[in-house]
Amino acid sequence: MAQLLVGYDVESFAIGEGLARIGDHGMVQATEPDSTPQGLEVILRNHEEFDAPATLFVCGRTLVHHVALFQELAHHPLIDIQQHTYSHALFKPDYWNGGVFLASPEEALETELMTTSAAIDKHLGIECIGLRTPHGHYLGLSDRPELLDIVARCGIRYVSSWGRGANGENPTPISTQPFWYAEQGHPEILEIPFQHWLDGIWFEANGIDKGREFGQVLQGAIDEIVADDLTYGACFHDWAMLRYDEAGTQWVRSLLSYARTRDVEIVSYTDYYRSMPALVPA
């Protein structure tokens, strides 16, 4: 059965340093503190309408600036909360929109993961087992086993890190499907790629007012997974709900609505991980 996993990278207070590397980016919504509560209000409204689970991959820095908000969301039956590093630290370098986004050293990455998992446990009472790596990369972490060692030491059981095509581009082929990192020595860690289009990359290339058109593009992804019985891990952002006017143009709502009409199963990333037959005992 085709499955849709909808994940949101929640990152206000955390990504300003990275965006500064592309100069006058114009993406003010990505740095405004109010973008998280306002964006999550839109997200929650959509998912409640379609009774659709969602995973919030939250930066630790965002969490500690909005503790009360996330404490409320932690009890919502449709919301799954996992992590997105503390300060949007990259596992590999990335190149986009004229900027070079630097990778963090291994010591920093381990501290980022440990600190964020500890904050999620302290403030929300949730054991963090899932990680979305910022930006995403071709091959995920399959070519960097030393980074998987860090992930394992931090108690992460699944990562969503494969989010680009062979040349670092989008859309990432939906044919890139989840797999266990057994060949890299970590059969206990599952990769759940995020495929197709990242919201920000599509909109910045095609126009930030083209939400209805993007909704049609997303529906095409649903047609593909239904035809080939695949899993589609979508990746959107809290601030994108505002910058790309989800309330007005309803591109996420269009995706959820169409998925329901095509009888696609919508699950959280964490529930998907738990449904996968493990290669080794947990």
For 260, phi and psi rounded to 5 degrees? Answer: -65, -40
Which residues are within 8 A (CB) of 75 and not within 5 positions of it... i.e. 6 or more apart? none
What is the model's pLDDT at position 190?
98
First to last CA, the chain: 25
The string of pLDDT tens digits covering residues 56-89 is: 999 999 999 999 999 999 999 999 999 999 999 9
What is the model's pLDDT at position 33?
74
What is the model's pLDDT at position 95?
80
What is the model's pLDDT at position 168?
86
Tokens standing for residue 168:
């670092």
**Residue ranges in the chain whose pLDDT is less than 70:** 15-31, 96-99, 279-282
Task: List the Cα angle 15/236/234 in 5-degree steps.
Answer: 135
Q: Is 263 exposed, middle or buried (0-12, 13-18, 19+ CB in 10 A)?
A: exposed
Q: Would the CA dihedral through 238, 242, 246, 247 be positive or negative?
A: positive
113 and 154 Cβ atoms separated by less than 8 Å: yes
What is the model's pLDDT at position 102?
86
Distance CA 65, CA 81 (A): 16
| Nearest C-alpha neighbor of 179 from the set 276, 280, 282 | 276
Tokens standing for residue 181:
């990192």
Tokens standing for residue 233:
């891990």
| Three-state SS at 108 | helix
Helices (H) and strands (E) in the chain, counts: 12, 11
What is the model's pLDDT at position 278?
73
Which residues are within 8 A (CB) of 152 and not within 5 positions of it... i.e. 6 or more apart? 186, 188, 189
Determine how many CB atoms are found less than 10 A away from the CB of residue 49. Answer: 12
Query: What pTM value is reported for the model?
Result: 0.94
Q: Which CATH architecture has domain 3-275?
A: Alpha-Beta Barrel (3.20)
91 and 144 Cβ atoms separated by less than 8 Å: yes
Determine how many CB atoms are found less than 10 A away from the CB of residue 97. Answer: 15
- How far is Cα of residue 135 from the mean position of the Cα atoms in its chain? 9
| Nearest C-alpha neighbor of 89 from the set 135, 148, 121 | 135
The residue ranges of DSSP E strands in the chain, in sequence order, are 3-10, 54-58, 79-83, 94-96, 99-101, 130-137, 158-162, 179-181, 186-191, 231-237, 265-267
Q: Which residues pair with 179 in a beta bridge?
A: 191
The string of pLDDT tens digits covering residues 167-200 is: 889 999 999 999 999 999 999 999 999 999 999 9
What is the model's pLDDT at position 15?
67
- Listed by start position, the domains of the chain span 3-275
73 and 56 Cβ atoms separated by less than 8 Å: yes
